[in-house]
Amino acid sequence: MQVQVLERDQNPMRRIRVGKVVVNMAIGKSGDPLERAKKVLESLTGQRPCSRNAKKTIKDFGIRKGEPIACMVTLRGRRALEFLKRALAAVGNKIKASSFDERGNFAFGIREHIEIPGTKYDPELGIFGMDVIVALERPGFRVKRRAYKRSEVGKSHEIKREEAIAFAREVLGIEVVEG
């Protein structure tokens, strides 16, 4: 059994990497609060965020269908890793084991954006919380997304929950807490 584990680690197609990091700020209102959240998100990530619209009307919260109520950014490559390291430092490099799903992705929340190292409080913008979602992948996952001859990824090539937790501990330096 030990020999198979070593061969698997040496195979470059079996190496796990961070595919993308999605940062989401759900404000619940359109207008000025959403614009301020976009400025905060742009300053944190270095990319221009896009708006997300409400899917249905909720009268109790004053939300209409189609109204922009959130903003998000998708980071890939070097930017994704840089932001992820700063975001993990904001939560003390600790994530619950329940934050990992069966496909090897994980997510965590940050209550206040000023907890991220290197961020200063701006009274004009205010304080916003955010969700950070990390999608892990292996080389070859492109076959799921490409336009020409799209195909499924084989079951043995998918990332399992245990593999994702091991990757987070060893490569990203995350302490995975049970609970």
pLDDT along the chain (179 residues), means of 10: 51 89 90 91 92 88 87 94 93 92 92 88 88 93 91 90 91 86
**pTM, 2 dp:** 0.86
Q: Is 110 helix (H, G, I), strand (E, B) or coil?
A: strand
CB neighbourhood size of 79 (10 A):
15
Residue 162 to residues 5, 150, 167: CA-CA distances in angstroms?
Answer: 14, 27, 9
The single-letter code of the amino acid at 72 is M
**Integer Cα distance of 6 and 24 in angstroms:** 38
pLDDT computed for residue 49 by the predictor = 94
pLDDT computed for residue 179 by the predictor = 67
pLDDT computed for residue 9 by the predictor = 62
pLDDT computed for residue 6 by the predictor = 47
**Integer Cα distance of 163 and 166 in angstroms:** 5
pLDDT computed for residue 1 by the predictor = 38
Instruction: Identify the sign of the CA torsion 25, 27, 29, 35.
Output: negative
- What superfamily would CATH give domain 12-177? Ribosomal protein L5 (3.30.1440.10)
